[in-house]
Each structure stands twice: as structure tokens, then as C-alpha cells.
Amino acid sequence: MTRSKAALVLMLGVAVIAQVAVSAQKAAAAPKPMALTALDYIEIKQLVSRYAFAVDTGSNNGYDYADLFAADGEFMRPYARGREQLAALARGARLGPANTVHYIMNHVIEPTPEGAVGRQYLIELNFDIPRNPAAAPQGRGAGPIDQWAQIGRKNGELARTGGHYEDVYVKTADGWRFRKRDFIPSRSGADPAPLPPPRIPADPDPQAIAGPAPPARFTPPTRQTTLTAMDYIEIQQLVSSYGHALDSGYGTGENGEPYAKLYTADAAFAGAAGHDQLVALAHQQPRGPDYARHYLINHVIEPTPEGVKGKEYLIVIDNGENGKPSTIFLGGHYEETYEKTAEGWRFKTRRLVTPRSGQ
């Protein structure tokens, strides 16, 4: 090798080493996400829960809503920034202490160096509770009729609004607040695949469905839970992630890998077993970067001597697009078991139970 070539090789080697050193320094200098405590997660969830009450009621002339945001907080669509603009945003035609519209669920929280970010699904419901004309000839606003007389009547319906929130949270002297909040209406992909009928495993037998006869009186668990507060929060995060992963791939539009990663390597659901089949199962669903469809609520977590099991209600809503009304596609509840892996809590088993009354 000539001296010039040797010198060139040496220079290239030095350059590569220098580049690796610079990359290592940048990686070491990169800010790390804030370490959120269990109480931080709970307080952020409480912040989001308070949002629904504040925006629906318009309480305190809209200032209860505005005070959920940081001093320079902003809502993106329609845009409002600062306490006065945010309070004005919360003053609308449909307000009052009994107004109930915003149903927010599937809350996922992710720590960042500055605080945290979050996502939730939203579905709005329109309620029109009939009034008692005998008690109030003038009609609305004079008191509800007897609650049992409402059974069988259509008192509410899905609104056209459905989609998801994207949040930035910041911890202030007054606690966790919204730094930024944006609502993204649900939209499916440009060419969603036709949805096949739901693949629901057959129930084993009536006795298995009904289960054993209940004991004469409640028997408390024989073993105290070994779950920590953070275990509960992480399992809640897993279930809340389900819709975001399946419907939108967390905003990427590609749902296969995000959905399959919610399960253990040997898990199965709806006839799909293992990673590759779960990816294919996700691809059968309509999806899009802004799509919202699977709404989960009433999550129960139960430690058992064998592990951890859970259940939650499901409603699958086809949010109206292009002026079409929103419709309910499917309902029921999931039953599942969880396993703690090296990557965190995952679904070990899962099945969907369709709703029915009686045995």
C-alpha cells in the first residue's frame, strides 16, 4: 500500500471514530423522559376526567374549563389561548349542571422530558330527556319525569362528533395542567378494506357460560394482591392502547405491528395465533392515521392466585364521515388475562363476549 493510500485510510478511520464519538455524546446528552410516579398518572387521568364536566357544564362562566390549562395553555381547534379565550370557548348554547355530552376513554399517557403527552378517544352523545307535562305545562326545563317511565323511550343518540384528543401536559405549581390540547375527528384511510363479519369464538357450553353456582355469601380473596400501584396503571395503559393501536397504529395508519405487540408471543385472539396472524388480523380492520372506532370503558383488574385477569366493556362505533350519521357496529365485553414480560404487561389470553340478557 502506498503512503498516500495508507494516509487516506488512516484519515477515514479517524473520521469514523470521531463521528461515532459525536453520536455517542449526543445520545448521552439527549434529555431523558420525566420519571412519572403512580400519583402523577392518577392526577393526569383526573385532569382529563374533569375536562368533560367543565366543558359540558360551562361552570363558573367557563373559568373552571380555562383553569384546567396552564397559563399559556392552548386548545387548537377552534383555537384559543390563555385564560380569557379558553373561558369564552367553554361558553356555549348547550350548558348547565346536568348537561352530559363528552364521553372520554382509552386514555394513554407517555412521559416526556418536559412532562407528558397523552391520547384519548372521544364520543359525543346527545340526550333529550322528556319532561312531565302535568308537572310543567310549559314543557322543557321544569323537572324530569319519573325515571322508570323513561324505560323503552329513545332519550339519546350518537352525535356526529367522534375522534381522539392529543394532549401535552405540564406540571405546574397548581398541579398537572394541559399545555396543549387538540381534537382530531375520526377519519378512516383512503381505501379501507371491506370489514368481514366479526369473528367471535363460540361459547363452550351453557354451564361454562353460567359458571358455578354462587356461594351463599361473598368470600373474600384468599391471597392479597402482589400488584403495585404502577402495575395497575400499566395494565390500564395496555387496555387503553388497544383502540389506538388497532384503529390508527398510534397515528401512523399502520396497525399490524402496534396491535400484535400488545400480546405475548404465544397469545391468540379471534382465531389468530402468534405474532404474524395477529398482524394479519389487524390488517382486516378499517384503519387510518386519525381513525377512532374501538371504545373501551369500565375496566376491572382482578389479581388471582394464577395471575391477573381483567374485563371491560366494548362499543365499536363507526363515526360518521362525509355527513353520514354515526352508528354502533358491535358491543359486548372483553375477558382477558395479562402477563408481565420483559417489555411490560401484555395480553396473554383474550375473548370477546357478545351482549345478551338472561342465561
Residue 304 has pLDDT above 70, yes or no: yes
- Thinking of the domain 38-185, which architecture would CATH place it in? Roll (3.10)
Question: Given this model, what pLDDT does residue 225 score?
Answer: 58
The pLDDT > 70 percentage for the chain reads: 73
Question: How far apart, in Å, do the first and last CA atoms of the chain sit?
Answer: 86
Question: Given this model, what pLDDT does residue 359 score?
Answer: 45
Choice between 196 and 332, residue whose per-residue pLDDT is larger: 332
Residue listed under C-alpha cell 402482589: 226
139 — pLDDT class (breaks 50, 70, 90): very low
Q: β-strands 116-127, 102-111: how paired?
A: antiparallel
Global pTM reads 0.77
Neighbouring residues of 263: CB distance < 8 A, sequence distance ≥ 6: 269, 275, 278, 346, 347, 348, 350
Question: Given this model, what pLDDT does residue 144 score?
Answer: 47
Give bridge partners of residue 336 from the DSSP assignment: 310, 350
305 — pLDDT class (breaks 50, 70, 90): confident
**Other C-beta atoms lying within 10 Å of the C-beta of residue 118:** 20
State how far the Cα of 118 lies from the Cα of 45, in Å rounded to an integer.
10
Question: Given this model, what pLDDT does residue 137 score?
Answer: 41
| Max avg pLDDT among 19-28, 120-129, 170-179, 314-323 | 170-179
Choice between 227 and 224, residue whose per-residue pLDDT is larger: 227
Residue 353 has pLDDT above 60, yes or no: yes
Question: Given this model, what pLDDT does residue 22 score?
Answer: 58
Question: Given this model, what pLDDT does residue 218 score?
Answer: 40
Question: Given this model, what pLDDT does residue 226 score?
Answer: 82
Question: Given this model, what pLDDT does residue 175 score?
Answer: 95
State how far the Cα of 151 lies from the Cα of 136, in Å rounded to an integer.
20
155 — pLDDT class (breaks 50, 70, 90): low
State how far the Cα of 59 lies from the Cα of 300, in Å rounded to an integer.
31
- How far is CA 153 from its chain centroid? 30
Question: Given this model, what pLDDT does residue 319 score?
Answer: 92
Question: Given this model, what pLDDT does residue 189 score?
Answer: 79
Inter-residue long-range contacts of 197-201, CB under 8 Å, 24+ positions, other chains counted:
198/270, 198/330, 198/352, 199/270, 199/271, 200/270, 200/352, 200/354, 201/270, 201/271, 201/351, 201/352
For the stretch 235-261, pLDDT in tens is 999 999 999 999 999 999 999 999 999
For residue 278, how many C-alpha atoms fall within 13 Å in the half-sphere facing its CB?
23
- The class that CATH gives domain 223-353 is alpha beta
Burial (CB count within 10 angstroms: exposed 0-12, middle 13-18, buried 19+), residue 176: buried
| Contact between 256 and 284 (Cβ < 8 Å) | no
Find the length of the chain.
Answer: 359
Choice between 92 and 318, residue whose per-residue pLDDT is larger: 318
Average confidence score pLDDT of the chain: 83
Average pLDDT over residues 312-327: 91
Give bridge partners of residue 273 from the DSSP assignment: 268
Residue 36 has pLDDT above 50, yes or no: yes
| Contact between 145 and 40 (Cβ < 8 Å) | no
Average pLDDT over residues 139-164: 64
| Contact between 346 and 238 (Cβ < 8 Å) | yes
Question: Given this model, what pLDDT does residue 195 score?
Answer: 58
Residue 350 has pLDDT above 60, yes or no: yes
State how far the Cα of 155 lies from the Cα of 167, in Å rounded to an integer.
32
CA dihedral 197, 326, 127, 297 (to 10 degrees): 50
Choice between 71 and 21, residue whose per-residue pLDDT is larger: 71
321 — pLDDT class (breaks 50, 70, 90): confident
Average pLDDT over residues 198-210: 50
CATH 3.10.450.50 residue spans of the chain: 38-185, 223-353
Question: Given this model, what pLDDT does residue 141 score?
Answer: 42
